[in-house]
Chains A and B, each alone.
With several copies, the nearest count.
Chain A
Amino acid sequence: MEDFSVLIGGKAGDGINRAGFVIGRILSRIGYRIYMYYDYPSLIRGGHNFTIVRASRHAGIASHHVSVDCILALDHATLLRHAGRRTPATITIVNSDSVKAENHAGGLAVPLDTITKEEGGIPIMANSCLIGAFCHATGIPWDVVGTVLDEEMPQETEKNIAIARRGFDAVPEQFILPKGEAPEVPLVTGNEAIGLGLLQAGLDAYVSYPMTPSSGILHYLAEVAGETSLKVIHPESEIAVMLMAQGFAFAGSRTAVGTSGGGFCLMTEGVSMAGMTEVPVTIVVSMRPGPSTGVPTYTAQGDLAFILSAGQGEFPRFVIAPADPAQAFEWSGRALNLSWKYQVPSFILVDKTLSEGTFSFDPEEPEWTGEEPIPRWDGTHPYHRYAEGEGGVSPFCPVPTTGVVVKVNSYAHDEDGITTEDPDRVVRLVEKRMKKSRGMQAEIDALDPVLVSGDPTAATAILCWGTTSGICREVGDIIGLRVVQPVVLSPFPAVALRDALAGVSRIISVEDNAGGQLASLAAAHGITISAQILRYDGRPHALEELRDRVMGVKA
């Protein structure tokens, strides 16, 4: 079997995300690569949550299928809502304690709640029972189930395993999912990959105010703060977040912040300040459908234009949009390094699909950049904070340094950071920033900022950015199209993009927004898009859906 998908559905509070993750771990253990989509409304208990865990023999999967091979239904709603995903071969397991027999729709019935209660478990442990049942139905050996549960359930381990065993025994084997060949790699969310990437590149502090879908970074980094000597701060507002980050960096701490659109709005004044003070900061923005509160637990790519120009005045910035955890890990570290190397804000622009999706992540795939050296003051007195340095970058000297006074300033300033209104000095500062822009462009151009996949010789190309690139890669492979993803969006890698598109006669852009923001950006650089595929209902495309839409405009 090349590909196997299982959907788990229930109510918020039932632990659907967790159950999906454990099933992902099990499928990973038996040799598959995993992608897990998690769909939930903005509420805490009730409603309908589901995950689709897709297991594949191929690396690099980043999308779900419409139809699934297995449905695990904690409630009736799951059967109703996902009826369209069933094929004749789909195996269904139903919680017979919550779904009436006449609604079982031919599924295997397991009294999850009864079993859980009998074993002395609390309601949420019904998941363990369901996982057990799923594994037996698909022929996954018990020892795999037992060991993964043992690893994943540090609390009440015995009880969970006992409950899982009851579920395992409650259903007959339906078929045997063959073992895959992939060695087991960690499953991480995009948010975790960003956090880890920042950490390995020397992050000292992470400052954030909770906002979906970025909060996972805050939660994860807070959890591992002890082990990593990281300072994690959750202050009173996003304004405080952004300004604190500047304070941290002024005192030499490599700092990142994370938020989503509404919170980012509140940071824009601080972003502009960073543009003037040249104090580095790395900003993760994870997008959801806007405007405003919008659809907070769903996905979108609607903030690109905003991020590219946010903050009053003109100043250079890096904007990087990774597609998957490997890119997120690699480029988050780079973003942190680049921000310090050039003393500019750097953005990591992601979305709910990446942030909260779970992916197989092979740590050997991305580059581990580590903390890179930055231009430092050579010790020649007097120190000038804003001295003319190479390419407009002033050598850095940490606070405190004996005998040195460091002054940064949000006003236009002279070399020492003292306020100026003098026209020539103002011009000098503007040109200092322009010089940096040129260096940043050269740096990015040298970093392979545009990735090509699919059929690199095809004359039709899919142009995509961020998370949609993952599914586009898959579609490109299926239909045989070239797939071109600029990972960096500022400075815009126009030359690399044109190179990547050399020989292409038809460009199809794919974006999760209504405006075609990458398409506009490309147009501004003289690259004409032949057809746009846009989606703006907050849901990522399923693989078949996007494949069909691309086929429809491929001509």
Chain B
Amino acid sequence: MSRSLITETQNTWCPGCGNFAIEHALKAVIAARVEEGFPPENVVLVTGIGCHAKIADYLDVNSFYAIHGRTIPVATGIKLANPDLCVICCAGDGDCYAEGLDHLIFAAKRNIDLTMIVHNNRVYGLTTGQYTPTSPLHFKGRSTPGGTEEKPLNPPALMLASGATMVARAYTRKLDHLSTIIREGIDHPGFAFIDVLQICASFFNMTEYYNERVYFIEGHDSSDFWSAWQKAREWDYSSDAPIALGTFYRSEEPMFDEKYRITRQSGEGRKRTVRKLLEHRIRQ
């Protein structure tokens, strides 16, 4: 198996866009898994709509290029249909923290075995620069030229409060670390949430800001929920603070999809069952 995992599609991300790093990292992780024997046809990528989502065109794996905000329910259906598949979501921050936030929380609640990679550029990229739920307070975008009056959400904290069993943060300018975290997410049995601080070169270039503040988590007990919660709240996506990169939390819990390992009934078996169900309604 020596597929390149990259399609021939012309890439249309802007120069300097952090999505390249995510594409690269994800490709590398999938390639490594395939190298180790994981069947490549068992990988499925689900994306929303936005700049991030173009990754569906670029990675040469099964993909469902869905609609804005709906990666999770599509991915959930795929995983429940076949729990052997390795299902990865690439979502945008507008996509999955605004339009589709409820699905995200339910994926965490259910602990379904998906890997959610959020391309969190903190802006609507493809629709040319409006604020998102993670834009900092007073962000001036095209729908809020005078600045927002809303504090951002803190997605890792929200995910912890929702029951996610893996919660992590990565950054597109820390490629090796990003790959490590994605690998960890894919290997994690259960719902793995990765908020990736993704540079948007065109509408919200935070490179300098992040470079000055990010640090890798060390000496942190990621099995301890309370320390995870504290780490997650260290930076609130708005005010100045050190920005932790790494896995805040990880635990193993029963997975929702496990109970859907069901073998389908054959055509004839089914007809018999249906007949039996009907016969319950008459003299037995």
Contacts and interface: CB of A to CB of B under 8 A. Distances in A.
- A and B: real partners? yes
Contact of B60 (A42, A236, A292, A405): A405
B65 A229 contact: no
Interface string A237-251: 111111111111111
Interface stretch (B94-102, B208-216, B220-228, B232-240): B94-102
B276 to A, nearest CB: 8
Contact of B61 (A235, A243, A253, A405): A405
Nearest to A193: B278
A247 B127 contact: no
Contacts of B146: 225-226
> SS class of chain A's interface: helix, strand, loop or mixed?
mixed
A250 B73 CA distance: 12
A13 B129 CA distance: 13
Contacts of A245: 77
Nearest to A371: B267
Interface centre among B65, B146, B284 (most CB of A within 10 A): B65
Nearest to A197: B274
A215 interface: yes
A210 B278 contact: no
A240 B264 contact: no
Interface in B224-263: 260, 262-263
B39 A253 contact: no
Given A205-B81, A222-B142, A222-B143, A401 B66 contact: no
Interface string B117-154: 00000001111101101000000001111100000000
Contacts of B143: 208, 210, 218-219, 222, 232, 234
Given A292-B67, A408-B63, A199 B270 contact: yes
Interface residues of A, number: 94
B174 to A, nearest CB: 24
B7 A418 contact: yes
Contacts of B15: 45
Interface centre among A223, A249, A407 (most CB of B within 10 A): A407
A243 B102 contact: no
B56 A409 contact: yes
B282 A185 contact: yes
Interface centre among B54, B78, B106, B275 (most CB of A within 10 A): B78
A262 B68 contact: yes
Given A222-B142, A236-B106, A248-B78, A151 B283 contact: yes
A363 B7 contact: no
A243 B102 CA distance: 13
Interface in A393-408: 399-408
A45 B267 contact: no
Contact of A400 (B62, B73, B130, B280): B62
Interface of B: 7, 9, 12-15, 39, 41-42, 44, 46, 49, 51, 54, 56-57, 60-70, 72-82, 84-85, 98-99, 101-103, 106, 124-128, 130-131, 133, 142-146, 201-203, 260, 262-265, 267, 270-271, 273-284
25 contacts: A44-B128, A186-B281, A215-B142, A222-B143, A227-B276, A231-B260, A234-B144, A236-B99, A239-B70, A239-B103, A241-B73, A246-B66, A247-B80, A249-B77, A251-B44, A252-B81, A361-B278, A400-B85, A404-B41, A405-B62, A405-B63, A410-B67, A411-B65, A417-B63, A418-B57
Given A44-B51, A235-B106, 17 more contacts: A45-B14, A47-B12, A186-B278, A196-B278, A218-B142, A219-B142, A228-B270, A240-B76, A240-B103, A245-B77, A251-B77, A251-B85, A253-B81, A399-B41, A399-B82, A406-B63, A410-B49
Interface of A: 13, 25, 28-29, 41-47, 147, 151, 184-188, 196, 199-200, 202, 204-205, 207-212, 215, 218-219, 222-229, 231-253, 255, 262, 269-270, 273, 277, 292-293, 361, 363, 368, 370-371, 399-411, 413, 417-419
